[in-house]
Amino acid sequence: VGLSGPPGAGKSTFIECFGKMLTERKHKVSVLAVDPSSSTSGGSLLGDKTRMTELSRDMNAYIRPSPTSGTLGGVTRTTNEAILLCEGGGYDVVLVETVGVGQSEFAVADMVDMFILLLPPAGGDELQGIKRGIIEMADLVAINKADGDLVVPARRIQAEYVSAMKLLRKRSKVWRPKV
């Protein structure tokens, strides 16, 4: 499963909750978290493991942060091979968290069985996603943080994306993307 979305959408929080749910159901979960690299120093924070504290202590989970090292598309140049290694190592669910910063971070869509776009309910111009690009590649659009005062904006953005996705050409004859 590939996951992308803008900064602050809650990708790491979602992965930790989802991953814990899966391990409680006896799945072995691998998380490949991709972080952007500095164009100046080449370094990367690789902070996803520290944001997934509960999942990182789970014996049925493996979290591997990796820097992009200049690779475009939201993944590393070896993400596909890392997915295969995790599957070969006995992990039956592999979650790939992309850098997730814009309209073109969807290279992971060709590496996974399902590509999820996580969106916050009040991120500005909600129909930015109607631009061809990342929204066109999503198998599922999940509006995250849809509670409290954000319930109404979340319902609104959900309706906008349901309408917008009707305008996109279908990638599959058997699956219609959900919001």
Q: What is the pLDDT of residues 147-159, one digit of tens each?
A: 999 999 999 999 9
Q: Is residue 57 part of a domain?
A: yes
Instruction: Give per-residue burial for 31-67: e unless 16+ CB within 10 Å, then b.
Output: bbbbbebeeeeeebeeebeebbeebbebebbbbebbb
Q: Is residue 177 part of a domain?
A: no
Lowest mean pLDDT among 28-37, 53-62, 110-119: 28-37
Instruction: Tell me, yes or no, whether 178 lies in a domain.
Output: no
Mean pLDDT computed over 88-114: 80
Domain encompassing residue 67: 2-167
Residue 172 in domain: no
Q: What is the CATH number of the domain that holds 44?
A: 3.40.50.300
Nearest to residue 79, comparing CAs of 42, 139, 33, 44? 33
Q: What whole-number distance in Å separates Cα of residue 143 and Cα of residue 133?
A: 18
Give the mean pLDDT of the chain. Answer: 81
Higher pLDDT, 171 or 56: 56
Per the domain annotation, does 174 fall within a domain? no
Domain count, the chain: 1
pTM (two decimals): 0.83
